[in-house]
């Protein structure tokens, strides 16, 4: 009996960051319950916790726990860094906007941290079960976060839509996973990879179906067309910090499992899924960029831009090479900074009675609020992908990886759509700088929002001018090591 | 340890621009003076290049190299040869002059304007210094941001249409070039080093593909017919400083791109595409000239004349013999000086009248005689009167292209005649005839304006009377370039003996 009860504590070492994050989440909820007067500390506690976890993730040894179910390889830690940065910036933004809107602080930050735990687990998942566990933990928390303003019909609708569509996608994912299990007899991704690579399942239609189902579910999670229909409504309806959060954290986590399952579970089928994803990527870029052209609300425009950027990020995955993966990873990190920055400006401008999300509200912003305008300008140019901002570095790396893998036509398509995207990103700049202001917007910089803007600016300019370290780290990433 | 002169030249204006951020936006005078001082220091910093440059070699000089993105073998690598040095000096000069001319004409968002101009200067100089294709692309695209703002914020009534058109045209071209650059990297041994890429031979099929990819970016920038349509709008709507920089530097970069990238890296494709490129240039020359005759807008006329003149430049480059290429490069400088000066003049008179319609003028020679003399000089230089710089450039191009194929020179000469026609006719309509009421009591040029124009006049005569001052810089580099295109030194000497006969 003693033998089975013996627990090797060192086995827990790889998941210490996740455990700590759960503790912080519980502490946040506890603080909210028992120390009502100290609620303004919650965002800072969240940030502090995430920074600590970030440090732990960066320092954690490469290895695996629980018989390869949980992997702490360099791949996982890169994605964890992206997700945690996303949470940190969201919490800082929320410090600003919750101060304005403020209900249910504890639940808000608690759920955000739980979803972060889910994302970290997804990034580390070496097993389909763990993957699903992380995915659901993340998704359920985000469903609630989207519907946080329960009195606002817009957010309730968004939450409902997101929940229904998300549940549907999860079911499809489970269906695909169960087929894979039936065919291979294992849920361990690396073992699945070994079995599929052996070639006996090469022409098995059931395996193809399973792969297809899983790809559909992942495409849903990362907002790839034609599974993107939930995105505009949910992004527009959700509280703005949560929209920013969704476009960075869950998306990065989604790409983490997307890449790992395809690259380490089905490397043999690269030709099949590569071609499929190339078509989907082009479709995504087309729909995202072309629909964004006609949006009058900046928030909705950014939602379509998020779809388009999912298409770009897919370029790395579909090339099926190590370089492609590192390109996607670098891109998601960069995208995190620039998109968070853009949303932070959006939050900065929103006032209690009026969210100021229309393009017209940005007219003449350069005159009334020059600092906000110049920041928005930098983020917009970065989203367009103009050097010397980081957006260019990310896009360049993706194009390079996809070209090296031989997807020339896809790359040409990507380039054309990214030129189209210049039109609507620059329209924001045009409105800010080349139109007369309509009304005076009073904005105040809280410490949180200033920190996000500073961080995003640092990321966009810093990674644009000195991307060497980031690309070096991304390029050295290996699955399972 | 030597001073990293080129890095200093690139980043000094950038740091200057950032330091302007610290100044209160209402201190307009301080901002103007600071911007002017920064640009003057930059000009002084650029002068050592002129004196320290070794004209006896085609090798890159003042080189700097640092690892930048080691994982992708991307380096921060700079260096200049006899071709790029001239453009760096020209950039520094033109920026200073455009700051001077914006002294009073820019009244809103003054601080932002000068920041944009200085950032643009840094990027422009970077383009001419970069020896790494990736670095080049960064500078090349980075220029778009300040230029987009300069046209869009401080431009004329139709500025937004013009600036968006400019941006999208250039962006699409550049992105196609980016695909070419990446392909080159993949096929050329994973390097972005321009010199290493030029040493390799690529299969002709790949060369042709890359040629068109580069063509997309460079031809739009030049602009060559038929992708020139952004230029008249951008030139017309841009504020004076914007037009001057566009005409003086930005559109030279397209031709510089052909020289620096297309020709040495893709020699076979260059030879194969010689005649098509020449034909496109000739169409540009004649088309631009004819369109000029129909213009009623002052700036638009000069803009179309740029299309025509830049046609001469690309003609010179693609006639592919030493005379024509040197003539082409010289003509790039000349066009920068002369058209820049013409835009300066138009800006000065526009500040007084606020109209660009040619019919609103007439008899300016009586009201503004000094201005009329300056304008006459620039007009004659533009037409290519012997003694002015325009003559040298055009003569070399005609000579070179005659040697390549006599019929080319015939068509090109037609362009010269058209040039004389529209420019002299313009001069007549502006300065002679009866005095138009609208220009009756215009004040004469003030001292600042005269100071702005004098350097241009000096340059026109200096180059016109002693062209060797500039040509001596480029001999070695051009010879080397043509060696790269033709493959062997013998081939080039054959072309040269042909010229001697």
Q: What is the pLDDT of residues A368-377, one digit of tens each?
A: 888 888 999 9
A416 with B69: Cβ contact below 8 A: no
If you average pLDDT over residues B254-259, what whole number do you get?
91
The 8-class DSSP code of residue B130 comes to B
Contact at 8 Å (CB) between A428 and A359?
yes
- Looking at the complex, does the CB of residue A403 fall below 8 Å from at least one CB of chain B? yes
Confirm or reject contact between A229 and chain B (CB < 8 A): no
User: What is the count of residue pairs from A and B with beta carbons less than 8 Å apart?
Assistant: 88
pLDDT value for B498: 47
Partner residue facing B141 (CB), from A386, A404, A471: A386
Chain B residues with CB-CB distance to A388 below 8 A: 138, 142
Res A195 pLDDT > 50: yes
Residues of A in contact with B67 (CB under 8 A): 468
φ and ψ at residue B426, rounded to 5 degrees: -60, -45
Residue A182: pLDDT over 50: yes
> What are the angstrom distances between the C-alpha of B475 and each of A142, B58, B255, B257, B337?
67, 8, 18, 18, 21
Residue A79: which pLDDT band, with cuts at 50, 70 and 90?
very high
Q: What is the pLDDT of residue A115?
A: 94
Round the CA-based radius of gyration of chain B to a whole number and report it.
Answer: 22
The distance of Cα A61 from the centroid of its chain, to the nearest Å, equals 24
Share of chain B above pLDDT 90, in %: 12
Cβ(B269)–Cβ(B208) below 8 Å = yes
Mean pLDDT, rounded, for A417-437? 88
Average pLDDT for chain B? 86
Percent of chain A residues past pLDDT 70, beyond the cut: 96
Please report which confidence band the pLDDT of residue B140 belongs to, taking 50, 70 and 90 as the band edges: very high
Determine the pLDDT at residue B500: 43
Q: Is B500 on the interface with A (CB under 8 A)?
A: no
**What average pLDDT does the segment B380-399 reach?**
87
Q: How confident is the model at residue A458 (pLDDT cuts 50, 70, 90)?
A: very high
Q: Is the pLDDT of residue B78 over 80?
A: yes
What torsion do the CA atoms of A363, A366, A370, A371 make, to the nearest 10 degrees? 70
Per-residue pLDDT reduced to its tens digit, B275-305: 889 999 999 999 988 988 888 888 888 889 9
The pLDDT value recorded for residue A269 is: 83
**Structure tokens that stand for A80 in this block:** 């964890």
Q: Kindly report the nearest CA distance between residue A256 and chain B, in angstroms.
A: 22
Q: Give the pLDDT score at B484.
A: 83
pLDDT value of residue B487: 77
Q: How far apart are CA A289 and CA A279, in angstroms?
A: 16
CB of B22 less than 8 A from some CB of A: no
Answer yes or no: do A411 and B160 touch at CB < 8 A.
no
Total domain count for chain B? 1
- Does B67 contact chain A (CB < 8 Å)? yes
Mean pLDDT, rounded, for A195-224: 87
Question: Does residue B62 sit in helix, strand or coil?
Answer: strand
CA distances from A342 to A298, A306, B35 (A): 10, 12, 31
A121: tokens are 């687990």
Give the gyration radius of chain A's Cα atoms: 22
| B165 touching chain A per CB within 8 A | no
Segment B409-415 shows an average pLDDT of: 87
Q: Which pair of tokens denotes residue A457?
A: 């600016």
Position B119 pLDDT exceeds 60: yes
Does any CB of chain A come closer than 8 Å to the CB of residue B113? no
* ipTM higher than the 0.95 cut: no
The confidence score (pLDDT) of residue B356 equals: 84
Least confident of A41-50, A103-112, B259-268: A103-112
With b meaning 16 or more CB within 10 Å and e meaning fewer, what string describes A138-168?
A: bbbbbbbbbbbbeeeeebbbbbbbbbebbee
Q: Decide if B259 is inside a domain.
A: no
Confidence bin at A100 (pLDDT 50/70/90): low
B258 touches B317 (CB < 8 A):
yes
Q: Which residue has the higher pLDDT, A398 or A154?
A: A398
pLDDT in tens, A358-415: 888 888 888 888 888 899 999 999 999 888 899 999 999 999 999 888 888 899 999 9
Nearest CA in chain A to B153: A434
Residue A481, pLDDT above cutoff 60? no
**Looking at residues B359-379, what average pLDDT do you find?**
85
CA distance A328 to chain B (A): 15
- In angstroms, the CA B75 to CA B464 distance is 40
Is residue B342 assigned to a domain? yes
Residue A286 near residue A292, CB atoms below 8 Å: no
By CA distance, what is A416's nearest residue in B? Answer: B172
- The whole-number pLDDT of residue A196 equals 85
Quote the CA–CA distance of A352 and A145 in Å, as a whole number.
19
Asked, for residue B225, whether it belongs to a domain, the answer is no
B110 versus A284: the higher-pLDDT residue is A284
Burial class (CB in 10 A: 0-12, 13-18, 19+), A399: buried
Domain region containing B284:
273-501
pLDDT for the residue A135: 93
With a cut of 70, say whether residue B496 has pLDDT above it. Answer: no
In Å, what is the CA distance from A243 to each residue of A93, A234, A354, B176, B384?
11, 8, 17, 33, 62
Cα–Cα dist A415/A420, whole Å:
9
List the beta bridge partners of residue A125: A70
What is the pLDDT, as a whole number, of residue A71? 86
B493: confidence class by pLDDT, cuts 50, 70, 90: low
């Amino acid at each position: 009996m003693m033998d089975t009860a013996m627990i090797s504590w060192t086995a827990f070492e790889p998941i210490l960051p996740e455990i700590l994050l759960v503790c912080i989440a519980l502490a946040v909820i506890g603080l909210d319950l028992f120390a009502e007067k100290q609620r303004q500390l919650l965002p800072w506690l969240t940030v502090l916790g995430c920074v600590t976890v970030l440090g732990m993730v960066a320092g954690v040894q490469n290895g695996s726990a629980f018989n390869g179910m949980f992997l702490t390889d360099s791949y996982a830690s890169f994605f964890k860094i992206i997700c945690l940065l996303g949470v940190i910036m969201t919490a800082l933004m929320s410090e600003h906007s919750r101060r304005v809107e403020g209900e249910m602080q504890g639940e808000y930050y608690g759920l955000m941290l739980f979803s972060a735990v889910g994302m970290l687990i997804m990034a580390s998942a070496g097993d389909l079960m763990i993957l699903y566990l992380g995915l659901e933990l993340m998704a359920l928390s985000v469903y609630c976060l989207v519907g946080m303003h329960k009195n606002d019909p817009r957010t309730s609708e968004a939450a409902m839509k997101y929940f229904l569509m998300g549940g549907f996608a999860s079911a499809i994912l489970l269906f695909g996973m169960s087929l894979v299990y039936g065919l291979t007899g294992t849920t361990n991704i690396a073992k699945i990879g070994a079995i599929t690579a052996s070639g006996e399942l090469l022409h098995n239609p059931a395996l193809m179906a399973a792969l297809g189902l899983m790809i559909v579910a992942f495409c849903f999670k990362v907002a790839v067309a034609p599974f993107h229909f939930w995105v505009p409504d949910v992004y527009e309806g959700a509280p703005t910090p949560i929209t920013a959060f969704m476009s960075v954290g869950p998306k990065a986590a989604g790409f983490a499992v997307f890449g790992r399952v395809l690259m380490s579970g089905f490397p043999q089928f690269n030709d099949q899924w590569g071609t499929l994803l190339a078509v989907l990527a082009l479709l995504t870029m087309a729909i995202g960029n072309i629909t964004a052209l006609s949006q009058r609300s900046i928030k909705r425009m950014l939602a379509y831009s998020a779809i388009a950027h999912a298409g770009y990020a897919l370029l790395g995955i579909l090339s099926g090479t190590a370089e492609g993966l590192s390109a996607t990873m670098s891109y998601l990190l960069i995208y995190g900074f620039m998109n968070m920055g853009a949303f932070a400006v959006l939050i900065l401008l929103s006032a209690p009675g009026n969210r100021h999300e229309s393009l017209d509200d940005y007219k003449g912003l350069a005159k009334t609020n020059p600092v906000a305008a110049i920041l928005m300008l930098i983020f917009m140019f970065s989203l367009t992908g103009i050097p010397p901002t980081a957006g260019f570095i990310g896009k360049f790396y993706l194009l390079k990886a996809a070209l090296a893998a031989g997807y020339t036509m896809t790359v040409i398509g990507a380039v054309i759509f990214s030129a189209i995207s210049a039109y609507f990103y620059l329209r924001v700049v045009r409105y800010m700088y080349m139109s007369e202001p309509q009304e005076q917007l009073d904005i105040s910089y809280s410490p949180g929002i200033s920190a996000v803007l500073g961080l995003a600016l640092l990321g966009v300019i810093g990674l644009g001018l000195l991307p060497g370290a980031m690309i070096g780290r991304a390029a050295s990433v290996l699955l399972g090591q | 340890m030597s001073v990293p002169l080129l890095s200093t030249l690139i980043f000094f204006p950038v740091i200057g621009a950032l330091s302007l951020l610290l100044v209160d936006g209402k201190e307009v005078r301080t901002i103007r003076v600071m911007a002017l001082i920064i640009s003057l220091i930059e000009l002084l910093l650029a002068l050592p290049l002129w004196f320290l440059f070794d004209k006896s070699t085609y090798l890159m000089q003042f080189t700097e190299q640092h690892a930048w993105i080691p994982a992708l073998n991307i380096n921060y690598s700079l260096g200049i040869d006899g071709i790029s040095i001239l453009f760096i000096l020209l950039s520094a000069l033109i920026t200073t002059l455009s700051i001077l001319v914006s002294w009073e004409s820019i009244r809103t968002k003054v601080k932002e304007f000068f920041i944009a101009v200085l950032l643009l200067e840094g990027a422009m100089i970077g383009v001419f210094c970069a020896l790494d294709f990736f670095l080049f692309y960064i500078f090349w695209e980075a220029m778009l941001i300040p230029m987009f703002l300069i046209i869009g914020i401080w431009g004329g009534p139709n500025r937004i249409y013009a600036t968006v058109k400019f941006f999208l045209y250039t962006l699409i071209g550049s992105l196609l070039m980016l695909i070419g650059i990446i392909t080159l990297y993949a096929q050329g041994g994973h390097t972005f080093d321009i010199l290493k890429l030029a040493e390799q031979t690529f299969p002709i099929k790949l060369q042709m593909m890359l040629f068109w990819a580069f063509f997309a970016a460079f031809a739009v920038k030049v602009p060559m017919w038929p992708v020139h349509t952004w230029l008249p709008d951008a030139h017309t709507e841009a504020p004076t400083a914007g037009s001057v920089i566009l005409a003086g530097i930005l559109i030279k970069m397209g031709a510089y791109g052909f020289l620096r990238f297309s020709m040495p890296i893709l020699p076979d494709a260059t030879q194969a595409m010689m005649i098509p490129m020449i034909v496109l240039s000739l169409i540009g020359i004649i088309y631009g000239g004819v369109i000029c005759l129909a213009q009623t807008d002052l700036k638009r006329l000069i803009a179309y004349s740029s299309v025509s003149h830049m046609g001469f430049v690309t003609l010179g480059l693609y006639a592919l013999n030493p005379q024509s290429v040197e003539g082409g490069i010289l003509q790039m400088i000349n066009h920068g000086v002369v058209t820049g000066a013409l835009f300066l003049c138009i800006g000065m008179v526009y500040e007084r009248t606020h109209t660009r319609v040619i019919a609103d003028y007439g008899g300016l020679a009586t009201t503004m005689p000094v201005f009329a003399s300056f304008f006459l000089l620039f007009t004659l230089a533009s037409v290519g009167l012997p003694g002015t710089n325009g003559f040298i450039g055009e003569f070399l191009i005609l000579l070179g292209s005659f040697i390549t194929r006599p019929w080319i020179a015939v068509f090109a000469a037609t362009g010269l005649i058209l040039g004389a026609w529209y420019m002299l006719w313009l001069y007549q309509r502006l300065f002679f005839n009866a005095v138009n009421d609208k220009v009756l009591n215009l004040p004469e040029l003030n001292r600042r304006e005269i100071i702005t124009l004098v350097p241009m006049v000096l340059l026109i005569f200096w180059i016109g009377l002693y062209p060797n001052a500039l040509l001596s810089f480029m001999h070695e580099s051009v010879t080397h370039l043509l060696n790269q295109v033709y493959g062997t030194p013998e081939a080039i000497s054959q072309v040269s003996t042909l010229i001697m006969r």
